[in-house]
Amino acid sequence: MWSELRALKEDVDVGTPPRDGEAVTLTIDGVEITVPVGSSVMLAAAEAGRAVPKLCATDTLEPFGSCRVCLVEIEGRRGFPASCTTPVEAGMVVRTESDGIERLRRGVVELYLTDFPADELPGGWSEFHQTVERVGLTTHRYGSKGETHFDLAVDESNPYFLFDPAKCIVCSRCVRACEEVQGTFALTIQGRGFESKVSAGQDEPFMASECVSCGACVQSCPTQALIEKSLFEGGYVRADTAEA
């Protein structure tokens, strides 16, 4: 459905919504690409065949710039801007890969992994798993020695999908989808820092909140923290508690 709405080619998620406007030509990793003004560097990179790793970005939602995985280098600029929130400019020269970029991306994803169940990594097929593989990680470098959200209960109140907060990276994609796609505003991010979490209604079970079971949040979730119940014959069991 989303690829039809965005008129995408080959179901490729270009990271940010396509724009309409005058043509702008830039160079990404040596590839010259022309896209409409207002497009993001992330979209241009995807169109150039140089897709940048991402977690909080998707082309069905406006750019948010929270995950910091999509960092790039731009000639003449200091630092490593987020490609999802950086608009293209004529003549811009972008690098999506370098030793510095790779180190930064790997470090960011390693921090996400410290609060992600280790037993959920093998065999995973979510966008998060693809990103972990893309940056060259296979295990928890730091382990899970600090505080985690693994003890939070799974919300199975909705008949169609469930929410496992142990796999949530608080990227806000579900909250934004509820707002931008459905217009229900049933989800929020509650708390600050480590206490931040996705909350339905007034910190209620999904079924008791204003949620209308449209599935926009499930469609947008990159980690499968929100996932359809129909995928689990016999019921959902967290990998870290499943019997071998």
Each residue's pLDDT tens digit, 25-63 = 999 999 999 999 999 999 999 999 999 999 999 999 999
- Please tell me what DSSP assigns to residue 195: G
Each residue's pLDDT tens digit, 107-154 = 999 999 999 998 888 888 899 999 999 999 977 777 656 788 998 999
Q: Give a yes or no: residue 64 inside a domain.
A: yes
- Whether the per-residue pLDDT at 1 is higher than 80: the answer is no
Q: Give a yes or no: residue 75 inside a domain.
A: yes
Helix axes 99-113, 127-134, angle to 10 degrees: 140
CATH number at residue 52: 3.10.20.740
Q: Give a yes or no: residue 4 inside a domain.
A: no
Residue 240 pLDDT grade (very low, low, confident, very high; cuts 50, 70, 90): low
Contacts of 24 by beta carbon, 8 Å cutoff, 6+ apart: 34, 35, 36, 37, 39, 88, 89, 90
CB atoms within 10 A of CB 35: 23
Q: Give a yes or no: residue 110 inside a domain.
A: no
Predicted structure pTM score? 0.89
CATH number at residue 201: 3.30.70.20
Q: Give a yes or no: residue 227 inside a domain.
A: yes
Q: Give a yes or no: residue 20 inside a domain.
A: yes
Residue recorded with tokens 């169940």: 117
Residue recorded with tokens 């979209």: 43
d(CA 50, CA 32): 11
Tally of structural domains, the chain: 2
Q: Give a yes or no: residue 152 inside a domain.
A: no
Q: Give a yes or no: residue 106 inside a domain.
A: no
Beta strands in the chain (DSSP E): 23-28, 31-36, 73-74, 93-95, 161-163, 187-190, 197-200, 226-228
Which two structure tokens, joined as six digits, stand for 199? 């909350």
Domain boundary among 44, 63, 97: 97
SS3 percent helix, strand, coil of the chain, rounded to 5, is 25, 15, 60
pLDDT at 9: 47
Query: Which residues span the domain enclosing 61?
Result: 11-97
Domain boundary among 74, 97, 120: 97
Domain boundary among 58, 74, 97: 97
pLDDT at 241: 42
* Rounded average pLDDT over 4-32: 82
Q: What are residue 8's phi and psi, to 5 degrees?
A: -80, 160
